[in-house]
Structure 1
Amino acid sequence: MFAEENGLKGDPRLQHISQSIRVIPHFPKNGIMFQDITTLLLDHKAFKDTVDIFVDRYRDMHISVVAGIEARGFVFGSAVALGIGAKFVPLRKPRKLPGEVFFEKYSLEYGTDCLEMHVGAVQPGERAIVIDDLVATGGTLSAGIKLLERAKAEVVECACVIGVPEVKVMTQLL
Structure 2
Amino acid sequence: MITSTTVERDLKAAIRTIPDYPKPGILFRDITTLLSDAWAFRRTVDEMVQPWAGMKIDKVAGIEARGFILGGAVAHQVSAGFVPIRKKGKLPHKRVSIAYSLEYGLDEMEIHEDAVVAGERVILVDDLIATGGTAVGAVTLMRQLGAEVLAACFVIDLPDLGGADKLRQLDVPVRTVLTFDGH
TM-score under structure 1 length normalisation: 0.86
Of the candidates 70, 92, 95, which is equivalent to residue 86 of structure 2? 92
Is the Cα–Cα contact under 8 Å of residues 131 and 158 in structure 1 kept in the other structure? yes
TM-score by length of 2: 0.82
Match of 1:170 in 2: 177
Please say if 1:77 is aligned against 2:71. yes
Instruction: Give the counterpart of 1:62 among 56, 61, 66.
Output: 56
Contact 2:60-2:75 at 8 Å conserved across structures: yes
1:40 maps to amino acid:
L
Among 153, 158, 169, the alignment partner of 1:159 is: 153
Deviation at 1:43, TM superposition (A): 1.1
User: Of 134, 150, 174, which aligns to 2:144?
Assistant: 150
Over aligned residue pairs, what C-alpha RMSD do you find?
Answer: 2.1
Tell me if the contact between 1:159 and 1:171 (Cα under 8 Å) persists in the aligned partners. no
User: Does the alignment pair 1:121 with 2:115?
Assistant: yes
Tell me how many residue pairs correspond in the alignment. 164
- 4+ long deviations beyond 4 Å: 165-169
Matched, 1:138 2:145: no
Offset of 1:36 from its aligned partner?
A: 0.4
SS in 2 for 1:97: coil
Superposition deviation, residue 69 in structure 1: 0.3
Is 2:19 aligned against 1:25? Answer: yes
Q: Deviations over 1:82-118 (max 9, x none)?
A: 1110000000011110111111111223443221110
Unaligned 5+ segments in structure 2 are 162-174
Matching of residue 52 in structure 1 with residue 46 in structure 2: yes
